[in-house]
Amino acid sequence: MKSENNSLTPDNIAAFNEVLDIIEKAREKAYKAANRVLITMYWEIGQYISEKVKTDKWGKSVVKDFSSFIQSHYEGIKGFSASNIWRMRQFYEIYCENEKLAPLVREISWTNNLLIISRAKTEEAREFYLLLCSKNNYSKRELERQFNSSLFERTMLSNEKNQLLLSKNKGLTALRDSYVLEFLDIPEQHKEKDLRMAIIANLRDFILEFGKDFTLVGEEYRVQVGKKDFKIDLLLYNRDLSCLVAIELKISDFKPEHLGQLEFYLEALDRDVKKPNENPSVGLILCAGKDDEVVEYALSRSMSPALVAEYQTHLPEKSILANKLRELRELAEVEGLTDDDGGDLI
């Protein structure tokens, strides 16, 4: 009997995976091209309806008849309800005079465009979420979560507070002043081990909160200095910035001595773990609370690229964050600290 020829050797599997990569990239390009065509069609219909409302006084009854006409002409077609046609008009009118944002809307799905229109109330917020969506290819659920956690307000607040530190080290731009970990489902009173284990058990949501450019390198990552072993609570890698990110978890409020521990870990990483082509490691102390003045004093003379952030296990009040951001910007204007050139939103 002739023996079966097994061609699934390690070399062949590697070669087959390369072909799979080609296929996946082609499918992604095809999806994006089809999506651009779809969004352009909605844009043009929105423009047409907008002009008809202005010139021919089209109202609800005409648009309803228009919707029925389209659906009877194309049996089984979806997306042309009267309400969705009005959304096309709104979509066009929001972005038609904005040369910066108009191209971005074609890079994300119609569902996510509608979500941004309904929940982002300023041009700055719309730009933030459009860029974020385009960069990270968010699903509807992922984008909804970012709105629910007030990501825009938290990011802007963090950038305002840490603008001096951010200007000194680009690596810190990937980190924020606060993180929302409502998905952990841990008790109010918990230990650092409980926090770390809950993060690992909910890693997908944790990475979504930090950003999709982050990947986990290890938990309780061991570094050896001299004859002693030390463990970093969480070690991440940021692909966009090409650097290691050390995270120390603290269930108490921030204390200045926490910074010394983190700086020690960053030095160990840069000497013994970082690859020659990678950028210097950055660090984050993720604590239950912090006094901003204590943090400012602790970081003012530190040469290490590090930030201190607080975590909370429930969704924040958006109105409180918005008020804090407004107050901080008003203070910056009084003190002449505003950045007229703007900067990256994400």
Read off the tokens for 155: 């990011």
Closest to 87 in 3D by CA, of 116, 61, 130, 125: 116
Given a contact cutoff of 8 angstroms between Cβ atoms, the answer to whether 104 and 113 are in contact is no
- First vs last C-alpha separation in the chain: 64
How far apart are alpha carbons 268 and 224 in whole angstroms?
A: 8
Helix (H), strand (E) counts: the chain: 13, 6
Position 9 scores a pLDDT of 82
Distance (Å, rounded) from C-alpha 221 to C-alpha 265? 10
Question: Which residue type is seen at 157?
Answer: L
Q: What is the pLDDT along the chain (346 residues), one digit of tens a residue?
A: 444 556 678 778 888 888 898 999 899 899 999 999 999 999 999 999 999 999 999 999 999 999 999 999 988 788 899 999 999 999 999 999 999 999 999 999 999 999 999 999 999 999 999 999 999 999 999 999 999 999 999 999 888 888 777 777 877 889 999 999 999 989 889 999 999 999 999 999 999 999 999 999 999 999 999 999 999 999 999 999 999 999 999 999 999 999 999 999 999 999 999 999 999 999 999 999 999 999 999 998 888 899 999 999 998 888 888 888 887 777 767 665 455 444 556 6
Residue ranges of domains in the chain: 10-148, 151-334
pLDDT the model gives residue 343: 52
Strands (E), 262-305: 282-289
pLDDT on residue 145: 96
Per-residue buried b or exposed e for 295-319, using 16+ beta carbons within 10 Å of the residue's own CB: beebbeeeebbbbbbbbebeebeee
Residue 224's alpha-carbon distances to 50, 230, 234, 269, 313, in angstroms, are 66, 6, 16, 10, 33
- pLDDT for 4: 52
Distance (Å, whole) CA 273 – CA 100: 41
| Residues forming a β-bridge with 253 | 289
Q: State whether residue 257 is helix, strand or coil.
A: helix
Domain made up of 151-334: CATH architecture: 3-Layer(aba) Sandwich (3.40)
- Nearby residues of 81 by Cβ (< 8 Å), 6 or more positions away: 67
